[in-house]
Structure 1
Amino acid sequence: MSDTGYGDFEFERRFFVDRLPTELLEETPTLIVQSYLLAEDGFAVRVRAQASGIEGIDPHADELAVLEAHLDAVDFCAITVKGPMVEGTRYEAERELDPLVAVEIVRRAPARVAKLRHSAWLGADGWVIDVFAGGNAPLVVAEVERGGPVTDLVVPEFCTTEVTTDARFANDGLARRPFGEWAREWRAELLATGPRFLTGLGHNHLPGETD
């Protein structure tokens, strides 16, 4: 449970990244492979296995193969229950699991995602940059999280457009319908509409903007 006074609610914003900011990437990021026991209408039950200090993975390998290749490095597992995302706010309750049990669930559950997670501190905010593998390669998503609503955000230059409320880019959505299946459609959509950012969370400080 969160100690910020908001209970089990999480506050985050997500962005599609077109240009990978290699200058910010860690040499040994965290590998995350997670399966979904339920993923429907924004409600999800997720089991995650993660391994710290991974130097690299085969981005073309499927999600289960990525997990099997790094089983010895798995150092944290958890089950998480999530509710629908509403303007950057989502119910999220998590409990740690024994890796021996969690890995077996990840193996057996039908829908998975795998990604390398890099962490970076930019200005006043901590960011993670997720580089997806398997059916979601070469998708890159950047995410910022706070203890309360993410308002008046300074948006880094590498964030092409916001996808916080786009269910297609939620991990449970990507597990059911990988990015590789609709990447061309998405790029055509982005070209037609241009970048978009949430407008109900204060002022977005965008790159090149002058006060």
Structure 2
Amino acid sequence: MDNITRRDSGMAYISDDAVMEEQKVCRKILQKLNFMDRSDFDGIVRTVKELLGESEDAFINPPFYCDYGSHIKVGKNFFANYNCTIIDVAPVTIGDNCQLAPNVAIYTAGHPVHPVSRNSMYEYGIEVTIGDNVWIGGNTVILPGVHIGSNTVIGAGSVVTKDIPDWCVAAGNPCKVVRKITEEDKKYYYKDRQFDDEAWEQIKGL
């Protein structure tokens, strides 16, 4: 069995020449994205679409790093801020209206724990899934196999090692649920600071 088939089947595989040829395609697009005029917003949008394929109103603030791009599927209105890294050996699926703060890292790749197995050059990828309306705080790391539910916020600096459910705030290393998100939270934009009347009127209509 060839290593591309092994990789895409979730089996242990080796990054041989055929695998690296696929990565070369991605790296050429990343070269263009990461060195283009940062004020060329339309050009960035076009290049992000070239990198990710299907996407609707996706925007990534360069620099951005990934292995394939084609293994990343994002929903509507995806936004990733500066210095995001997605190691997409396995599929990374992200829902609608998701935001990644600066320095977020999503890893699907890993290596065996035992040094003999690790030195064999075999590695693996396990998919990561993120639901709709999720905000991932800055410097968060998401590890292979993690599923994050919809309408959830991950606090800055978290290391997400296990699944996180819908409608919660979670944070820490390892990341754990801090509390549920309720309808009462809708009135506040930061801790105890409430929206002003003008903003609140607009939000109530959403």
TM-score normalised by structure 1 residue count: 0.27
Higher relative contact order (CA 8 A, sep 6+): 1
Larger radius of gyration: 2
Greater per-residue strand proportion: 1
TM-score of the superposition, structure 2-length normalised?
A: 0.28
